[in-house]
Amino acid sequence: MNLRLGIDVGGTNTDAVVLDERSHLLARFKAPTSADVSGGIRQALRGLVAGHPELDLGSIRYAMLGTTHCTNAILERRNLDRVGLIRVGAPATLAIKPFVGWPADLRATIGGHYAIVEGGHEYDGREIRPLDERAVREAAESFRGEVDSVAVVSVFSPVDASHEQRAGAIVRDVLGDLPITYSDQIGSIGLLERENASILNAAVTTPARVAANGFASALEEHGIDARMFFSQNDGTLMALDYATRYPILTVASGPANSIRGAAFLSGLRHAIIVDVGGTSTDVGILVNGFPRESAIAVEIGGVRTNFRMPDLISIAMGGGTRIHQNEELRIGPDSVGYRITEDARVFGGSTLTLSDVAVAAGRASMGDPDRVEGLDAKLVHDVTQWVRETCEETIDRMKTSAEPVPVVLVGGGSVVIPAELAGASEILRPDHYDVANAIGAAIAQCSGEIERIFSLEEYSRAEALEMARQMARAEAVKAGADPATVEIVDVHEVPLAYLPGNATRIRVRAAGALAVEAAS
Amino acid sequence: MTPYTRQLVAAEVDDLAIGSALLGTGGGGDPHVGALMAHEAIERHGPVTVIPASDLESDALVAIVSMSGAPTVMTEKIPNGGEIERVLTRVAEAAGRRPDAVISVEIGGMNSVIPVVAAARTGLPLVDADGMGRAFPEFQMTAFNVAGVRFGPRFVTDEKGNMLRIDGIDAGWIERINRRALIAMGGSVITALGLSGDDVKRGAIHGTISLAVQIGAALRQARRDGNPWLDRLLEVVSAIPLFTGKVTSVDRRTEGGFARGYAVVAGLGTEADQSIRIDFQNEHLIARRLERDEPAEILITTPDLIAVLDSETGTPITTEMLHYGQRVTVVGIPSQPVWRTPRGLELAGPRYFGFDVDYVPVEVRAAAVRQSRA
């Protein structure tokens, strides 16, 4: 037996599931999140064992973790590494220095050390200047004792990364074996955003290792000898070593997991996913089995980056959303959140929430329904109408055609959603909808993506596309995919405006099933 | 509104960047990098004085300062910072005097904020005007050219320090030579060229810096106050909403050195059975309804402005940022009168761009549509 363990440590709840090789659910556990990642994982494992004594933990071969650990470190400015940045590209780039636009406290926590050295490339791969190796060496010396990790960013490194590689080698030579982030492996064209993403990646090196170690020791304590993976922000997995080098890619894995989990549970490859939590609802869209990506610049902790994140609309509507009846009816945005089991009326509290109305309307059963029996019928109707309209409007914004589309409801709060919605061809709330996140982590594929500028004077378009596809496949395999299952998921091409000579930017994503070891 | 002398402060730079992205009609690049440079320049040197063109002496020397090349390259290979001074120095040498002011060549996109950087660094005033009233892909498409201005030398520099002087016999030749040179120099250059105060007074489109700031401010305030952005926008510019929907396909290819292609937007709500197609060459050029997948009724053409905006916030979306699934509102803005003259239409009308259709002002087309539906 080769079992898969999926754990999602979210802001409010920790979900855990165990699936067999055919992805049947064998065990599940859900509880409020504890103080830290390892504590949450240990609690999840204990909960699984307690709930399913027949479960053979020794048969778990693959363990997947989705966690907001790195996100929290950035948002809270805690446990971050001090970073030294080397930007390669002088005489270009001097007009905007590194860390411009950063929140002051985040810059201070990370240290703000940087050096700009000569080097970098043009859009077609010519060197701007040869790499100034002496300046790199001096920069590394200046970082000694002041930084825990280094980020290297070179102009047009997505076209030619040789200066980044050489600079990294010099840093290693001077400072020894400290973690180095290479920007061309982190982000795409757009120097400042890629630089910011690389600095953030370098800054969460330690939190990522802490999470990985916590994961490993929790598994070991329970006698689980499994290959470990982390969820990343496109809904796929990274092998552990990949995850500790690119930890920034784990940010936003929660929403990605819930979308993929919903895909799996529903069996659909195209659908709107509505994930209703205690306080908020995230609406995403599944295209070809993967969450559709947002195209606009993504901010993390107040810092502008060019990450891939799921395209989501978040609305203030959840199971614990408070209903205010003053002169006018007002619903939310405030919520009782995880305190619902104390504060909501059905649980003996005095706060009227969307869950209470759902129980009164007969859509949900929780707590004591007698406590909401006397609720005014018009109130129940109006609140239900608000929920319906809010959902319909958001779904309409997400859809890409006029056709009705299936809607999958997941998340513990999804019982508040009415059974019919305009624009939805059908509404599914599959079994185990409330542990969709952990399932998404457990069934995920491994993906790799590359984005490069190709000069079409050097290669034909067909050659450039084929090269890009090969590179993307190789990235997927590096992330842990079985080469035989790797498929191209997305190809995106943008000719560069205002440039004769046909320079074109090609982005390719590939994904494949987790490479399964032969059963021993 | 009538331009007047005032200060442009750092807080208005973002408004200028957003407003100019809207007037950029899909082109002009992403003003973000330029905005960062402008912020830094104003923080270091103080606010920029914006003056109406009427304040200029007839023989004043006014320098057009612009970035030329691929906006994508500029977001990656950010300038050195010394380029602007270098080209302005050469303009001054060629004219035998120091410039009296700087001006934008096109208010659409990055070239609205680059002159702000120049003005902050040099202490020169910025003229409240520009050369196009929007963005266009080629240098000869300026109101200066329509007015018959004779162009002096154009200076072109890169971050490495290379310097090129172009004495072109006309604007078309300056464009052709500049385009080839900038590729050799790495795809992104800073240029400057001198005009007289008289050239600016008779040839520029006036008040456009202020207009762009107002547009950006309207969108920002709408978001802050939770108001519909279109209502706030209509208070500052005659925007005609043409269509709202979702982008369902984007076809982009390189032809002749530009990003050419089209996007299809499918309708929402009551217009769910309709779709339109927008053709572009960096900037959006023509929008037509689709009937059985073929372009039919024309909604708007160049030189009128076609702005594609995020339906939620009114934020402008550039051609390069257009992608499948975006929720957009297409808005038309009547062009400046100069582009509706025979010479203006010769330079920038639909036929120049390969569409064999007559130009009809967008407000006339929109009224006809309303009539036929009444």
Chain B residues whose beta carbon lies within 8 Å of the beta carbon of residue A190: 75-76
Gap from A43 CA to chain B (nearest CA, Å): 40
Mean pLDDT by runs of 10 across the 374 residues of chain B is 77 93 88 87 93 96 92 85 96 97 95 95 96 94 96 96 97 94 89 97 96 95 84 93 88 64 86 90 93 92 96 85 83 96 97 95 91 74
Alpha-carbon span A320 to A355, nearest angstrom: 6
pLDDT at A381: 94
pLDDT at A434: 87
Interface contacts (A, B; CB < 8 Å): 151
Q: Is A89 on the interface with B (CB under 8 A)?
A: yes
pLDDT at A499 over 60: no
Label residue A296 by pLDDT band (50, 70, 90).
low
B72, B83, B252, B313: which to substitute to probe chain A, counting the most A Cβ within 10 Å? B72
pLDDT band at A519 (very low <50, low <70, confident <90, very high): very low
Supply the pLDDT for residue A500.
53
The conformation of residue A508, written as its DSSP 8-state character, comes to E
Q: What is the pLDDT of residues A206-253, one digit of tens each?
A: 988 888 888 999 999 989 999 999 998 877 888 888 888 889 988 878
Confidence (pLDDT) at B151: 95
Q: How confident is the model at residue A295 (pLDDT cuts 50, 70, 90)?
A: low
The verdict on a CB contact (< 8 Å) between B259 and A497 is yes
Write the residue in B77, B319, B320 that is nearest to A156 by C-beta. Answer: B77
The pLDDT tens digits for A426-435 are 999 999 988 9
Buried b (16+ CB within 10 A) or exposed e, A305-316: bbbbbbbbbebe
Assign residue B159 a region (left: φ > 0; alpha: ψ between -120 and 50; beta: otherwise). alpha
For B72, which of A93, A96, A497 is closest by C-beta distance? A497
Contact at CB, B252 and A101, closer than 8 angstroms: no
A518 confidence band (pLDDT: 50, 70, 90): very low
Q: State the pairing for strand pair A60-67/A227-231.
A: parallel
Instruction: Say if residues B131 and B105 touch (Cβ distance below 8 Å).
Output: yes
Q: Report the range out of A463-477, A480-494, B170-184, B331-345 with the highest average pLDDT.
A: B331-345
Residues from chain B contacting residue A156 (CB–CB below 8 Å): 76-77
Residues of B in contact with A157 (CB under 8 A): none
Whether residues A505 and B72 touch (CB distance < 8 A) is answered with yes
Model pLDDT, residue A455: 80
Residues 315-344 of A with CB under 8 A from B: none
Per CB-CB distance under 8 Å, the chain A contacts of B319 are: 497
DSSP helix/strand/coil, A288: coil
Contact in structure between A183 and A83 (CB atoms under 8 Å): no
Token digits of residue B92: 């001054």
Which of A499, A505, A507 has the most B C-beta neighbours within 10 Å, making it the best mutation to test the interface with B? A499
Mean pLDDT score, A277-290: 84
Task: Mark A276-298 as b/e (b = at least 16 C-beta within 10 Å).
Answer: bbbbbbbbbbbbebbbbbbbebb
A205 close to A264: Cβ distance less than 8 angstroms: no
Residues in chain B closer than 8 A to A500 (CB atoms): 179-180, 183, 256-257
Average pLDDT over residues A249-258: 84
How many residues are there in chain B? 374
Residue A351 is given by DSSP the state: B
pLDDT at A41: 84
Closest Cα partner for B106 from B68, B144, B77, B133? B133
Contacting residues of B for A94, CB less than 8 Å apart? 78-81
- Chain A, residues 216-235, CB within 8 A of chain B, namely none
- Going by pLDDT thresholds of 50, 70 and 90, the confidence category of residue A35 is low
CA A313 from chain center: how many Å?
A: 15
- The pLDDT of residue B253: 67
* Partners of residue B269 in chain A, C-beta under 8 Å: 396
CA separation for the pair B334, B330 (Å, rounded): 13
Q: Cβ–Cβ of A96/B36 closer than 8 Å?
A: yes
The rounded distance, in Å, linking the Cα atoms of B151 and B172 is 11
Average pLDDT score, chain A: 88
Residue A401 has what pLDDT?
63
CA angle B154, B160, B161 (to 5 degrees): 45
Inter-chain CB proximity B159 and A100 less than 8 Å:
no
What ipTM was assigned to the predicted interfaces of this complex? 0.86
- Give how far Cα B363 sits from Cα of B195, B234, B245, Å: 33, 14, 21
Relative to beta strand A149-154, strand A180-182 is parallel
Residues in chain B within 8 Å Cβ distance of A401: 246, 248, 266
Q: Are B8 and B50 in contact (CB under 8 A)?
A: yes
CA B28/CA B51 separation, integer angstroms = 24
pLDDT at A447 over 90: no
What average pLDDT does range A339-351 have in this prediction? 88
Q: Which of B37, B257, B269 sits opposite A95 (nearest CB)?
A: B37
Q: From the list A124, A191, A401, which residue is nearest B78 (CB)?
A: A191
pLDDT recorded at residue A402: 64
More confidently predicted of A262 and B30: A262
pLDDT: is A55 or B312 the higher one? Answer: A55
Q: Span A494-506, mean pLDDT?
A: 66
- Among chain B residues, the shortest Cα distance to A285 is held by B325
Encode pLDDT of A370-422 as tens digits: 999 888 999 999 999 999 999 988 887 777 666 789 999 998 889 999 988 98
Nearest residue to B263 (alpha-carbon basis) of B37, B26, B89: B26
